[in-house]
Amino acid sequence: MQNPPVVKAQMLIRRPVAEVFEAFVNPEITTRFWFTRSSGRLETGQEIRWDWEMYGVSTLVRVLEMETNRRILIEWDNPPCPVEWQFTPHGEDATLVVISNRGFAGSDDEIVAQAIDSMGGFTTVLAGLKALLEHGIELNLIADHFPDIAH
């Protein structure tokens, strides 16, 4: 593949940047809209395990870099695949979150399938975050995405 895909998903969240950033580093919040369990809070240099118990899957997350309220860079999966969150304030009460994912591996068809899955997954995560932070609603989007697989 000459130009490997870079997935970008983004959403404006009408909450202050510190609150939106905290939602991704604090598993007490993140488990309300994304994964179901985490071995700890995101901190630079840490390796954390995220679980999606309804699907019986998990991933190890290596936190490569963090800039409070600005950026998070992790690697997950095998081979390592980087994921980056960027947080840009929009006024005092809104934050643009941009999630980028790259480094997909396999055949060209497998790489394209992974990129499409990543785009859909991160878009769903951002929609769940928006509902939670703006309206206090837990939509269960991740569990409901594949209801026949979830247990």
Q: What is the pLDDT of residues 76-109, one digit of tens each?
A: 987 899 999 999 999 999 999 999 999 999 999 9
Given a contact cutoff of 8 angstroms between Cβ atoms, the answer to whether 75 and 61 are in contact is yes
Overall average pLDDT of the 2-19 stretch: 96
pTM: 0.95
pLDDT band at 126 (very low <50, low <70, confident <90, very high): very high
pLDDT in tens, 17-50: 999 999 999 999 999 999 999 999 999 999 999 9
Give me the percent of the chain exceeding a pLDDT of 70.
99
Given a contact cutoff of 8 angstroms between Cβ atoms, the answer to whether 23 and 11 are in contact is no
Residue 150 scores a pLDDT above 80 = no
Q: What integer pLDDT is reported at residue 148 of this predicted model?
A: 84
Q: What integer pLDDT is reported at residue 137 of this predicted model?
A: 97
